[in-house]
Amino acid sequence: MGAALKPIADHREARADLRQTHKTFSPGLPVWDRLRMTGLEAQIATALQRWSTLVLRLTLGIVFLWFGALKVFGVSPAAQLVQQTYSFLPFRPFFMLLGFWEIAIGCGMITRLGLRLALVLLCLHLAGTFTALYLAPHLFFLGGNLACLSMEGEFVIKNLVLLAAGLVVAGYQLRVPEP
């Protein structure tokens, strides 16, 4: 019977070791001390808190300015997709309007002039982008399966990240007037 109890005893020792490991990462160093930030980590976190939303706003602006310029200059790789999706609209004027719309978003993000308007334009633009999924699902979903995106579907769905970035910019970069 002693041999039968050995695995149980080994298991208890292993659990005791695990509990000890849980309490400390290394001998004598409590978890809360180990998890404290070092001076360098604290400086990095402070810099991230100070600069990350600015960098996010600027990069979001660059992306929209760039994509808009590609449309205005007639060299956008998205032209055919837009034409197929919004075939009921006159393509050239719509595509130019879309390009200038994106340039306006980009300029607003970069300069912060009219940032609220730029954020509204961003939300409207992305609503139009996501509407494409409804208007031409055959372009965005393989075999009608909503879980299977085509390359064009991935192109549209990644705009969720742009939407989230816009929300972060709105939450941290807009100035709330004093009451």
Phi-psi region of 149 (alpha: psi -120 to 50; beta: other; left: phi over 0): beta
| pLDDT band of 19, cuts 50, 70, 90 | low
pLDDT digits (tens, 9 = 90+) for 118-136: 999 999 999 999 999 999 9
Distance separating alpha carbons of residues 158 and 130, to the nearest angstrom = 10
Distance separating alpha carbons of residues 134 and 140, to the nearest angstrom = 9
**CB neighbour list of residue 145: distance below 8 Å, 6 or more residues apart:** none
pLDDT above 80 for 55: yes
pTM of the model: 0.76
pLDDT digits (tens, 9 = 90+) for 72-104: 999 999 999 999 999 999 999 999 999 999 999
- Choose among 45, 72, 97, 64: nearest CA to 169: 64
